């Protein structure tokens, strides 16, 4: 009897001791003493693919609208804001688009702190509300404030959390998953220009933009209800990862590559329609379809380049995309016929999709050892991209005063510069791996 009581007592004591040790282990891990090892991604399943579908809707409303700005640029120059020049009007689109990436300064840390739902709710509200307010604008400063700044702040809340959530659910099929999500920007870039062009001619600017706003409102339902974090963020949260700045292949080369590349990447999207109309290459009705053509080919580009990234690595796929875009934009200089301009739009839309899709995957695979620090690392990569995007199109608009050749050379040179710096990043990474062997 005494032996049994002693056994029960010792067993109870061991259980309590084990629980106590486990408690202190958890405290030490949360304090950063013992790093937690995250479980592997499911790489599929209903919950994971629901995140892809929700991300598709967000990309439809953010990048899809950005890819459509060329139709707004042409409409504003000819009609709505005809008293403003090309450079001034392009600020509306570049302010909005730059916040998609510059917004990672605030959305990245907030995502790491666990405020995913708040970011989705606030971002969706600002985006939809900004479009409704744009429908009431009749002056340049109002349009810049509503379509540029207000909607830009909304997109900034949405992009980083979306890529972070989707990336955390996939490993082997991460490139494919991000490619599927980013096809939302392609389909949005096809539907929104068609809607705006047709409705602006029939019911006017106000109701054309309101119709777009109602579609955007409907597409926010799934992200708000279905998107959720798979991994809890670490307790010690940093706004910047200082160690990343010490990696030459990360900051010195790749961040500079994105800064230079994004200065020129969106110039064809903003100006190709205006170029064709001013040079009488095609009629207005036919020229209007150039943006949908670029975005439609981008649909296949995102899927193909996402799959290619899984095979050869995202940085290598990015270099291929950037190099092809640089060659194509240099070829734009000699284009003077309908057939060649359409071929240019098809090819440029295909390869430029990689410059949009792949950087986030490059961060995940090449530049982020701990996926829970994805938001911080992505922020540090997106800020240079945002600055390049912010200043690139207005510079191109200012150059346009002296003719189209200067604009085309500027766009091509920046994208080729992006390719060269990306290759330098690849070489620096390879040298680092060799030194570690």
Token pair belonging to 275: 């170029």
The single residue listed with the structure tokens 């091509």 is: 412
Task: Outline which parts of the chain fall under CATH 1.20.1250.20.
Answer: 44-226, 242-436
pLDDT band at residue 201 using 50, 70 and 90 as cut-offs: confident
335-344: average pLDDT:
90
pLDDT number for residue 132: 95
Residue with more model confidence, 428 or 88? 88
pLDDT band at residue 247 using 50, 70 and 90 as cut-offs: low
pLDDT number for residue 2: 41
Token pair belonging to 153: 């702040």
pLDDT number for residue 207: 93
Token pair belonging to 259: 């800064």
Encode pLDDT of 354-389 as tens digits.
888 788 778 766 666 666 666 667 677 778 888 998
* Cα separation, 389 vs 67, whole angstroms: 13
* Cα separation, 125 vs 265, whole angstroms: 29
The answer on pLDDT for 346 being more than 90 is yes
Rounded to the nearest 10°, the torsion over CA 369, 370, 373, 377 is 10
pLDDT number for residue 344: 95
pLDDT number for residue 250: 60
327-347: average pLDDT:
92
pLDDT band at residue 27 using 50, 70 and 90 as cut-offs: very low
Rounded to the nearest 10°, the torsion over CA 352, 422, 101, 105 is 170
412-430: average pLDDT:
89
Q: What percent of the chain has pLDDT over 90?
A: 31
pLDDT number for residue 152: 92
39-43: average pLDDT:
71
Encode pLDDT of 260-308 as tens digits.
999 999 999 988 988 888 888 887 778 778 888 998 898 888 888 888 8
> Running DSSP on this structure, what letter comes out for residue 371?
G
Provide the 10 A C-beta neighbour count for residue 306.
27
pLDDT number for residue 21: 38
pLDDT number for residue 13: 39
Question: Percentage helix, strand, coil, to 5, in the chain?
Answer: 80, 0, 20
The answer on pLDDT for 38 being more than 70 is no
* Contact in structure between 174 and 364 (CB atoms under 8 Å): yes
Element (H, E) at 343: helix 338-366
Residue with more model confidence, 239 or 173? 173
Q: Is 258 helix (H, G, I), strand (E, B) or coil?
A: helix
The answer on pLDDT for 416 being more than 80 is yes
Encode pLDDT of 206-222 as tens digits.
999 999 999 999 999 98
299-321: average pLDDT:
87
The answer on pLDDT for 164 being more than 60 is yes
pTM for this model (two decimals): 0.76
* Cα separation, 178 vs 331, whole angstroms: 30
pLDDT number for residue 31: 40
117-139: average pLDDT:
93
Encode pLDDT of 76-124 as tens digits.
888 878 778 888 888 998 899 888 888 878 887 788 788 899 999 999 9
- Helical segments of 36-85, H only: 46-61, 63-66, 69-75
Tell me the Cα Rg of the chain.
24
* Contact in structure between 359 and 294 (CB atoms under 8 Å): no
Q: What is the mean pLDDT of the chain?
A: 81
How would CATH label the architecture of 44-226?
Answer: Up-down Bundle (1.20)
CATH superfamily entry for domain 242-436:
MFS general substrate transporter like domains (1.20.1250.20)
* Cα separation, 357 vs 327, whole angstroms: 20
39 contacts: CB under 8 Å, gap ≥ 6? none
Q: What are phi and psi of 340, to 5 degrees?
A: -70, -35
């Amino acid at each position: 009897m005494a032996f049994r009581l002693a056994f029960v007592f010792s067993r109870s004591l061991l259980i309590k001791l084990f629980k106590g040790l486990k408690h202190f282990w958890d405290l030490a891990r949360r304090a950063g003493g013992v790093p937690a090892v995250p479980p592997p991604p499911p790489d599929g399943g209903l919950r994971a693919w629901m995140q892809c579908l929700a991300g598709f809707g967000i990309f439809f409303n953010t990048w899809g609208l950005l890819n459509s700005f060329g139709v707004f640029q042409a409409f504003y120059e000819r009609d709505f804001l005809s008293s403003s020049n090309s450079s001034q009007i392009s600020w509306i689109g570049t302010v909005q688009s730059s916040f998609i990436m510059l917004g990672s300064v605030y959305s990245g840390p907030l995502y790491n702190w666990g405020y995913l739902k708040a970011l989705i709710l606030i971002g969706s509200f600002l985006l939809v509300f900004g479009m409704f307010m744009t429908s009431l604008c009749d002056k340049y400063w109002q349009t810049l404030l509503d379509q540029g700044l207000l909607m830009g702040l909304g997109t900034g809340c949405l992009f980083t959390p979306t890529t972070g959530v989707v990336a955390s659910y996939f490993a082997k099929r991460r490139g494919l998953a991000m490619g599927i999500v980013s096809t939302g920007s392609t389909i949005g870039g096809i539907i929104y220009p068609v809607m705006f062009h047709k409705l602006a001619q029939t019911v006017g600017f106000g109701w054309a933009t309101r119709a777009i706003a109602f579609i955007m409102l409907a597409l926010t339902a799934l992200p708000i209800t279905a998107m959720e974090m798979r991994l809890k963020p670490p307790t010690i949260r940093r706004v910047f990862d200082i160690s990343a700045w010490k990696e030459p292949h990360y900051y010195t080369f790749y961040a500079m590559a994105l800064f230079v590349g994004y200065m020129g990447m969106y110039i064809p999207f903003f100006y190709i329609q205006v170029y064709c109309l001013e040079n009488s290459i095609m009629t207005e009705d036919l020229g209007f379809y150039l943006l949908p053509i670029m975005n439609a080919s981008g649909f296949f580009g995102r899927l193909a380049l996402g799959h290619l990234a899984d095979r050869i690595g995202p940085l290598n796929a990015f270099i291929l995309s950037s190099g092809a875009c640089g060659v194509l934009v240099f070829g734009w200089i000699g284009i003077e016929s309908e057939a060649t301009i359409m071929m240019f739009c098809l090819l440029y839309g295909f390869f430029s999709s990689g410059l949009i899709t792949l950087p986030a995957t490059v961060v995940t695979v090449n530049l982020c050892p701990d996926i829970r620090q994805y938001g911080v690392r992505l922020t540090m990569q997106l800020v240079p991209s945002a600055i390049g995007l912010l200043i690139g199109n207005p510079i191109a608009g200012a150059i346009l005063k002296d003719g189209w050749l200067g604009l085309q050379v500027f766009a091509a040179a920046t994208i080729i510069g992006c390719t060269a710096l990306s290759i330098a990043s690849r070489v620096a990474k390879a040298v680092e791996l060799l030194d570690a062997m």
